[in-house]
Amino acid sequence: MLYREAGQFKTSYAADQAMFPIVQDRWFILALLLVAYLVVPFTANEYWLQAVLIPFLVFSMAAIGLNLLTGYAGQLSLGTGAFMAVGAYSTYKLITAFPDLNVIVAFLIAGVITAGVGLVFGVPSLRIKGFYLAVATLAAQFFLSWMFNKVPWFYNYSPSGTITTPPRTVFGVMVTGPEATAEVRYLVALTLVAVLALAAKNLVRSRIGRSWMAIRDMDIAAEIIGFRPMQTKLTAFAVSSFYCGVAGAMMLCLWLGSAETEAFDINVSFQVLFMVIIGGLGSILGSFLGAAFIILVPVFLTNAPQLFGIAMATDTQKHLEVMIFGGLIVFFLIVEPRGFAQLWQIAKEKLRIWPFPY
């Protein structure tokens, strides 16, 4: 009754090609953005911003990046963590080498640098596919994190080997460093994610996005009807790495403040892959839902024993957490292998005819 497109007539081509063709969707997105911008910063406390919302935004960005590559272009990658590290370390180098550079610009340049690195590690995808490619991207993961550990130039010869973001302002507001408030960092992250997510949503509807999907569905057939596999696969790697790079930069500057290579290890790659799969392959919305799930479940599991008043040794609890997390993932894959995005599709179909049965 409330959610249906009946009676919404399109009178122009622009309206027909709109990103959200249904009026209710547009209002919903707008309302969501308004709440995120105007309500959340004033109501959420430091813990929620720092432990839930900012990581959620960071990982949404990374998940969008991986989803472009794996969900849309069909190239399985386990090197997300390394690409995020490239983004983080290049931002660090940029803002320490050019103190006057706008941090947001530095993020984007770091994204471009990561795209370049992604291109290099995407080259094997022209020759190998599937799990072979996944293992090949692990080479990127281990090689890059070793490099950031071993070459002191990357962490400005600091004795501890950690990189710490210096305080920087954008338009007179402190954005990075220890002085920046969680609210400001949240808003910056939100803006970046909103803009880049819209860009991604648009990109996958364009010629580039369609060529990715053609390659994903059957690369030989796509090649025969005239898509160039090299261009297509390499743009997928470049764009995906751009998003992962920006995510890494956000992770360093807006969330952690200081980091070592361990912050971007193989587990991060797996986490992002989980987000993409649980959220739904080939769906921008799914990336957000998956990120929310993977961020919230550990937070819930950590706090659950206190909620229910169960006392437990910390290490037992830690192990139980890991175990339940693994079990939940298998469970969700069995219940809905196509992810939360598919659940949303089903809900949409149901809503369309609600409250009548047909």
Partner 1 sequence: MELLNAVFIAPFVDMWEFPAFFIEVVITGLLTGVLYSLVALGFVLIFKASGVFNFSQGAMVLFAALTLVGLMEKGVPVWLALILTMLVMIALAFAVERLMLRPLVNQDHIILFMATIGLTFFLEGFGETLWGSNVKRLDVGIPNESFEIHGVLLNQFDLFAAAIGAVLVAGLAIFFHKTPVGRALRAVADDHQAAMSVGIPLKTIWIIVWSVAGIVAMVAGIMWGAKSGVQFSLSLIALKALPVLILGGFTSVPGAIVGGLIIGVGEKVAEIYWGPLVGGAIENWFAYVLALAFLLYRPQGLFGEKIIERV
Residues that bind partner 1 (CB under 8 A): 70, 76, 124, 127-132, 135-136, 138-139, 142-143, 146, 149-151, 218, 220-221, 224, 266, 270, 273-274, 277, 281, 315-316, 319-330, 333-334, 337
SS3 101: coil
- Minimum distance from CB of 150 to partner 1 (Å)? 4
Closest CB 228 distance from partner 1, rounded Å: 17
Minimum CB–partner distance for residue 244 and partner 1 (Å): 18
Torsion sign over Cα 99, 103, 108, 111: positive
Question: CA 116, CA 114: separation in Å to the nearest integer?
Answer: 5
Q: Which residues pair with 168 in a beta bridge?
A: 176
CB of 31 to partner 1, least distance (A): 33
Instruction: Closer to partner 1 by CB, 179 or 217: give it.
Output: 217
Residue of 135, 8, 122 lying closest to 73 (CA atoms): 122
Nearer to partner 1, 150 or 205 (CB): 150
Residue 21 or 327: the one with the smaller Cβ distance to partner 1 is 327
Which of residues 130 and 166 has its CB atom nearest to partner 1 in the complex?
Answer: 130
Q: How far is the CB of 105 from partner 1 (least distance, A)?
A: 32
**Which is nearer to partner 1, 203 or 301 (by Cβ)?**
301
Distance linking the first and last C-alpha atoms of the chain: 12
Tell me the CB-side half-sphere exposure of residue 348, using CA atoms within 13 A.
10
User: Residue 119 or 351: which CB sits closer to partner 1?
Assistant: 119
CB of 52 to partner 1, least distance (A): 21
DSSP string of 268-293, one letter each residue:
HHHHHHHHHHHH-TT-HHHHHHHHHH
Longest pairwise C-alpha distance within the chain: 69
Is the separation of the CB atoms in 51 and 255 below 8 Å?
no
